Amino acid sequence: MAFQILLNVFLGFLWMFFTMSYEPVAFFKGYLFGMVILFTFRRFFGSRFYLGRVIAIISLGLLFIKELILSNISVLKLVLKPKLDIKPGIFALPTVLEKDWEITILANLITLTPGTLVVDVSDDNKILYIHTIDMDDAQEAIDSIKNTFEKAILEVSR
């Protein structure tokens, strides 16, 4: 990915030298043309076209904001509820993510989902221990949320 971006920036600068105009617009044009060329030859590189990954990062950010809002609303509901009929508990979530930053992002996202909180990560980085505020209904639904998060993160890193 880094190589593709570097090449694209290089092509942008090259365009400025070709057209002899050293303005930001010239660089922008060259960058755009370079992107078109890179996209055409995307199968040439070992990894996929970098713009797909940029889009994945943006969608992950949007997902983060959405979950942040939802979690705050659900906590607000819980606080305002007259009867305290919650069943807290801790469960283990096996993860397929390997790199440190992936696990960190997953843990942070889980912490921000409604009613869940990462307590600990196992020593071999394979299992996340999660505290949930409502054990009954949470398990299934939350596992599916984790799948969307994990998928979104894999989309960025693969």
Partner 1 sequence: MKTNDLILQTTTKVVLFIIILFSFHIFFAGHYTPGGGFVGGLLTSGAIILLMLAFDMKTVSQILPINYIYIAATGLLFAGGTAAGALFFNVPLLTHAFGHVDLPILGDTALHTATIFDLGVFLVVVGVTMTIIQTIGEDE
At its nearest, how many Å lie between partner 1 and the CB of residue 1?
Answer: 15
At its nearest, how many Å lie between partner 1 and the CB of residue 39?
Answer: 12
Provide the greatest CA pair distance for the chain.
Answer: 72
Please identify, using beta-carbon distances, which residue of 20 and 84 lies nearer to partner 1: 20
Q: Are 156 and 61 in contact (CB under 8 A)?
A: no
What are the b/e assignments for 95-115, b being 16+ CB within 10 Å?
Answer: bebeeeebbebbbebbebbbb
User: Can you tell me the distance from the alpha carbon of 105 to that of 122, in angstroms, rounded to the nearest whole number?
Assistant: 16
The residues binding partner 1 (CB under 8 A) are 7, 11, 14-15, 18-19, 25, 28-30, 33-34, 37-38, 40-41, 43-44
Residue with tokens 């797909």: 52
At its nearest, how many Å lie between partner 1 and the CB of residue 53?
Answer: 19
Please identify, using beta-carbon distances, which residue of 3 and 101 lies nearer to partner 1: 3
Token pair for 92: 């283990």
Please identify, using beta-carbon distances, which residue of 15 and 149 lies nearer to partner 1: 15
At its nearest, how many Å lie between partner 1 and the CB of residue 8?
Answer: 9
